[in-house]
Amino acid sequence: MDFRLTEEQELIRNNIREFARKHIDPIAAEIDESSRHPAELFRELAAGGWMGIPLPEAYGGSGADFLTHAVVVEEVSRSCASTGFTLSFHAGIIGTVLALFGNDEQKKKYLVPLAKGAHMGAFSLTEPQAGTDVMAIRTAAVRDGEDYVIDGAKTFVSNGPLADTYILFCWTDRPAGRKGMSAFIVPKGTPGLQPGKHFDKMGLRSSQTSEVVFRNCRVPAANLLKQEGAGFAIAMTGFDHGRIGIAAQAVGMLQAALDESIRYSKERVQFGNPIARQQAIAWMIADMATDLSAARFLAYHAAWLKDSGLPFGKEAAMAKLFATEKAMHHTVKAVQIHGGYGYIKGAKVERLMRDAKIAEVYEGTSEAQRMVISGSLLR
């Protein structure tokens, strides 16, 4: 088994790392502090062709595989987890869902500008009373001639305040259960679509998150994805792909925590020697590096399975579970290595620790991942 990336993938890794050093590192602390969406940065990402890495060339993407997508998300997240997350779900969930389930007309109209980075997308599923329990959503669509009229409210919508294209999940036949959930494309500016204000979050502060309300929102039937009743399957497919991206994001945060811990432990002198010579510190770094390698393998393996046309849902859940929990654990350790300096605003490890927590929650909590994994094994 060959564990090496291809020459092209290594070149892409080097190119996006250089891009991140030049364009992301200088503003990462500022956009975290201000909770600002860096529109100028995403214009640069779009100009470089980074917004549609795994999406088909025929619809404006780069046509690369999902492993390459994971590598790019990892490297961007190494500099800024907020930017890495936005890039991950934009292409890995929104773009991928449209590529897999949209018809040709929908792809030309909505996927092309998303893949090129001219538009931003949002995934509207979670509701105030419906998180992990997807079946508890209340938003509903009623057919009215050539349209559907949608009413309901979503929350924790990433890109909610600024998206151009919303993928909305709602009931079209509630008594039918899973087969009664449908998915719609709702463009920005549709009457009745009301994005809320950005939440002031603990971490991932430059990633814009809000409520989105649909009130008598009239959407053409032509914007239905696939067919009535396909929504649940579309959402779960989106999550399977998205979890690879979140695992890659966590790997990037872990790598950054290791980078910062090695650098600081070599520079910080106590008792006449760099603290890197203290066994307690050295072992923290050894554990961090070991878990980083394991997390990277799980993420890349899940991506490789997807690219090979093999089942990958269980492995994507494993990758997300392990990588995100280890990212949380080791960013805390990175702060510990830095001591009081790591607890001060402006320290990268402080930002990493805050950013890491949400990765254990969104796109399926750690507990939900264990449900997916055990459910797959205990059928």
Mean pLDDT score of the chain, rounded to an integer? 97
What's the CA gap between 281 and 261, in Å, rounded? 9
- Catalytic residue (one of 74, 325, 350, 363): 363
102 has a pLDDT exceeding 90: yes
Task: Give catalytic status of residue 363 as yes or no.
Answer: yes
3 has a pLDDT exceeding 90: no
Q: Which residue is it, tokens 């009623």?
A: 142
Kind of pairing between the strands at 209-220 and 269-270: unpaired
**Residue 242's pLDDT is what?**
97
What's the CA gap between 215 and 139, in Å, rounded? 10
Phi-psi sector, 117: left (phi>0), alpha (psi -120 to 50), beta: left
**Residue 2's pLDDT is what?**
79
Average pLDDT over residues 250-266: 98
Please tell me the CATH superfamily of domain 7-120, with its number.
Acyl-CoA dehydrogenase/oxidase, N-terminal domain (1.10.540.10)
1 has a pLDDT exceeding 70: no
Distance from chain centroid for Cα 295: 16
Query: Which positions ≥6 away from 158 have C-beta within 8 Å?
Result: 85, 86, 89, 122, 123, 207, 208, 209, 362
The answer to whether the 7-120 and 122-229 domains have the same CATH topology is no
What's the CA gap between 334 and 349, in Å, rounded? 6
174 has a pLDDT exceeding 80: yes
Q: Binning pLDDT at 50, 70 and 90, where does residue 379 land?
A: confident
236 has a pLDDT exceeding 90: yes
Candidates 3.30.70.141, 3.40.50.1820, 3.10.200.10, 2.40.110.10; CATH matching 122-229? 2.40.110.10
123 has a pLDDT exceeding 80: yes
298 has a pLDDT exceeding 90: yes
Average pLDDT over residues 20-41: 97
Which strand (E) or helix (H) includes residue 219? Answer: strand 209-220
Angle between helices 7-19 and 66-79 in degrees, nearest 10: 30
Amino acid residing at 278: Q
Q: Binning pLDDT at 50, 70 and 90, where does residue 50 land?
A: very high
What's the CA gap between 245 and 301, in Å, rounded? 12
Q: What percent of the chain has pLDDT over 70?
A: 100
Average pLDDT over residues 185-208: 96
Helix, strand or coil for residue 200? coil
User: Strand locations in 34-178, DSSP E?
Assistant: 121-124, 140-144, 147-158, 165-171
Domain 233-377 sits in CATH at: 1.20.140.10
372 has a pLDDT exceeding 70: yes
pTM to 2 decimal places: 0.96
Average pLDDT over residues 333-353: 97
Provide the sign of the torsion angle of the four alpha carbons 55, 58, 62, 63, taken in this order: positive
367 has a pLDDT exceeding 80: yes
Query: Which positions ≥6 away from 379 have C-beta within 8 Å?
Result: none
Q: Parse the chain into domains and list their residue ranges.
A: 7-120, 122-229, 233-377
Average pLDDT over residues 291-305: 98
